[in-house]
Amino acid sequence: MAKSENDQDDDYKARSVALRLLARREHSRLELTRKLLQRQLSKAVIETVLDDYQEQDWLSDERFAEAYARQRIEAGYGLLRITGELMQRGVSENADTLQTMSSEDWCDQVVRLRRKRFGLLDLRGQLEERLRQMRFLQRRGFTHEQINAALDAVEPA
């Protein structure tokens, strides 16, 4: 009898913790699994709860990917970084937001980021500064083509 009560307590705890976390923000299935495992809940109980929540559409990796991608784009991150971060969170397919952005959109994004962070000064003859800005933009997850386009952009006179 004690084991049955314990299973019910674990189920209740897993459901309440998962629901509380989802009420704050979208989570991927992998994120919720990790957070519930930290609370010493059994893998079987966690899987059951998360399956139920997916059936009820309270948990959705697609919805998480969309929200996460939009937030990271607004924060000035590039496709490479966002895709990598989604993969770390257990989401393998790209969000529709990422797929609808063209290479021109990403170039505009990286130019806006460079303008905001460094200004659009002409960097010809300033190898050290050009390399510094390039490293920053690489860490943000932009491609070499996008970075070169941004570094070549200058403020109109």
Domain that holds residue 81: 60-101
**Are residues 48 and 29 part of one domain?**
yes
Residue 72 lies in a domain: yes
Question: Quick one: pLDDT at residue 9?
Answer: 87
List the structure tokens of 118: 């460094």
**Are residues 134 and 95 part of one domain?**
no
**From CA 13, how far away is CA 118, in angstroms rounded?**
49
**Are residues 66 and 47 part of one domain?**
no
**Are residues 52 and 27 part of one domain?**
yes
**Are residues 55 and 66 part of one domain?**
no
**Are residues 82 and 115 part of one domain?**
no
Residue 75 lies in a domain: yes
**Predicted confidence (pLDDT) per residue in 10-20, tens digit:** 899 999 999 99
**Predicted confidence (pLDDT) per residue in 44-94, tens digit:** 999 999 999 999 999 999 999 999 999 999 999 999 999 999 999 999 877
Structurally, how many domains does the chain consist of?
Answer: 3
**Are residues 93 and 44 part of one domain?**
no
**Are residues 79 and 93 part of one domain?**
yes
Residue 157 lies in a domain: no
**Are residues 23 and 9 part of one domain?**
yes
Residue 65 lies in a domain: yes
**From CA 89, how far away is CA 43, in angstroms rounded?**
18
Residue 14 lies in a domain: yes
Contact 81, 140 (CB under 8 A): yes
**From CA 146, how far away is CA 125, in angstroms rounded?**
20
Give the distance, in angstroms, between the CA of residue 28 and the centroid of all CA atoms in the same chain. 10
Q: Is the pTM of this model over 0.75?
A: yes
**Are residues 1 and 34 part of one domain?**
yes
CA proximity to 157, closest of 117, 116, 118, 120? 120
CATH number at residue 39: 1.10.10
**Predicted confidence (pLDDT) per residue in 100-115, tens digit:** 999 999 999 999 999 9
Residue 89 lies in a domain: yes
